[in-house]
Amino acid sequence: MSATWRSGNRLRLLVNGEEFFPAVFDAIRAAQREVLIETFILFEDKVGHELRDVLVDAGRRGVEVHLLVDGFGASDLTPAYIEALTTAGVHFRIFGPQRRFLGIRLNLLRRMHRKITVVDGTIAFVGGINFSADHLGDFGPEAKQDYAVEVEGPVVEDIHRFARAAIDPERGGWFRRRAHPAATPQLPAVGSADAIFVTRDNHDHPNDIERHYRVALRSARRRVLIANAYFFPGYRLLREMRRAARRGVEVHLILQGEADMAIVKTAAGLLYEHLLRGGVHVHEYCKRPLHGKVAVVDDEWSTIGSSNLDPLSLALNLEANLSIRDREFNRVLAESLECLMRHDCRKIEASDVAAPRLWVTVRSFFVFHVLRHFPLWASWLPAHAPRLFTVAPKSVASGSSRGGDPRRGGDAHHASQAENRHAA
């Protein structure tokens, strides 16, 4: 079932961990009934410890707390950390855990990459920020630049219903029918923004986020600003960017200049000549690693979420974005991105990507065909239905005769197991 635009929402842009973590933790501290969290990465650093503390406090005062982490992104959590949560009544689940092979994490593909928090079904947070200290400026030169949005209003009901179905093994089989409900939400209008919650999975919504990008690019008349950390999009997205530029739209890309992984900059660099020749402006953000996944088009449309514009996000991982139609939010986000371009970016010029003509021709041929066909190739990669493990308190699981480690997909701490079929 398709997602639906909801009117009457109130939005607040949250830039980096300095704004995101206090907002989320304060909302959890004020929770009266329920907290739902999905995160790709959770580390045992000062942010992870504060999250643990606020969730433990919420669980002890009777709030129903659910925490879902990815088996790849949060594989280093210790049993003691997990035990502190589960003992307090937190429902702790691991998406697709898997034992390591020679110390190497092999569960690379089709990850649960979403970052969603919903409190009491009335306030939600969607974005690209994980629960880790590297999203704070005092982390040092490797601190990430990133964004999230705090949202209240009718669209929160869609986000809540989605998150509830995704983390509840008993209702996992209903996921595809309930993820994007058509029912009119009951939450009252509290603002003026229109918003739609858009997800990507490997069954019913394989290209929804990419499609929203393409529609927005086709509608652009004046400007497009895209800031995306991991950039190697498909042929159709690149074509829409170039077409927009050729009809006079100012199209600006903000990509990683200080890459957290060398291959990220190398892959994006393969596209520079093609983009510049099409009239697209490319900027490399050089102050710190860029981790954001945001965009604005003209004066109204914007998007913010977990989805990169690369093969993993567009063809494999489970992702979630909030698309927005609101002039004020668009203005605030655009000003933030324009500030990055003015003060902390290096603009890529044609002379920066000059190469021997033969090499350009060969490279362009290779990149063109890779990008044109990668969605099909991605569908050939191993599809799986990762199990969603619920970790029980040690006192409950101690009667089991099975051994294992919940961080690596073992069974000693698992009270129940349910396959999250929607992720296949």
Give per-residue pLDDT as tens, 267-304. 788 889 889 999 999 999 999 999 999 999 999 999 99
Selecting among 66, 291, 414, 422, the annotated active-site residue is 291
Selecting among 66, 115, 160, 414, the annotated active-site residue is 115
Both 375 and 395 in a single domain? no
Active site residue 405: no
**Contacts of 67 by beta carbon, 8 Å cutoff, 6+ apart:** 37, 39, 55, 85, 90, 91, 92, 93
Active site residue 394: no
Active site residue 291: yes
Both 220 and 168 in a single domain? no
Give 302's strand partners.
296, 324
Residue 342's φ and ψ, nearest 5 degrees, are: -70, -40
* pLDDT, tens digit (0-9, with 9 covering 90-100), for 331-372: 999 999 999 999 999 999 988 876 656 665 566 656 655 665
Model pLDDT, residue 75: 87
pLDDT band at 143 (very low <50, low <70, confident <90, very high): very high
Selecting among 45, 53, 57, 120, the annotated active-site residue is 120
Both 376 and 392 in a single domain? no
pLDDT band at 422 (very low <50, low <70, confident <90, very high): very low
Neighbours of 83 (CB within 10 A): 17
Both 160 and 12 in a single domain? yes
Confirm if 106 and 68 have CB atoms less than 8 A apart. no
Both 168 and 221 in a single domain? no
Both 259 and 397 in a single domain? no
The answer to whether residue 285 is domain-embedded is: yes
Confirm if 321 and 293 have CB atoms less than 8 A apart. yes
Both 396 and 355 in a single domain? no
The answer to whether residue 36 is domain-embedded is: yes
The answer to whether residue 198 is domain-embedded is: no
Confirm if 4 and 158 have CB atoms less than 8 A apart. yes
Both 282 and 235 in a single domain? yes
Both 143 and 59 in a single domain? yes
Rounded Cα distance between 171 and 66, Å, is 14
Active site residue 293: yes
CATH of the domain at 161: 3.30.870.10
Selecting among 66, 70, 91, 113, the annotated active-site residue is 113
The pair of three-digit structure tokens given for residue 352, joined into one six-digit string: 């920066």
Rounded Cα distance between 231 and 291, Å, is 11
Model pLDDT, residue 414: 37
Range of the domain at 28: 6-191+385-423
Can you say whether residue 167 is alpha, beta or left, with left for phi > 0 and alpha for psi between -120 and 50 degrees? Answer: alpha
Selecting among 91, 135, 281, 293, the annotated active-site residue is 293
Both 271 and 370 in a single domain? yes
* pLDDT, tens digit (0-9, with 9 covering 90-100), for 235-273: 899 999 999 999 999 999 999 998 777 777 777 888 898
The answer to whether residue 202 is domain-embedded is: no
Confirm if 415 and 170 have CB atoms less than 8 A apart. no
Both 292 and 415 in a single domain? no
The answer to whether residue 214 is domain-embedded is: yes
Rounded Cα distance between 340 and 287, Å, is 9
The answer to whether residue 197 is domain-embedded is: no
Rounded Cα distance between 189 and 7, Å, is 7
Helix axes 235-246, 357-380, angle to 10 degrees: 130
Domains of the chain: total: 2
The rounded radius of gyration (Å) of the Cα atoms in the chain is: 21
In the predicted model, is pLDDT for residue 228 greater than 60?
A: yes
Active site residue 343: no
The answer to whether residue 201 is domain-embedded is: no
The answer to whether residue 241 is domain-embedded is: yes
Q: What is the pTM of this model?
A: 0.87
Confirm if 390 and 414 have CB atoms less than 8 A apart. yes
Rounded Cα distance between 128 and 195, Å, is 17
DSSP 3-state assignment of 59? Answer: helix
Both 141 and 92 in a single domain? yes
Confirm if 296 and 337 have CB atoms less than 8 A apart. yes
DSSP 3-state assignment of 129? Answer: coil
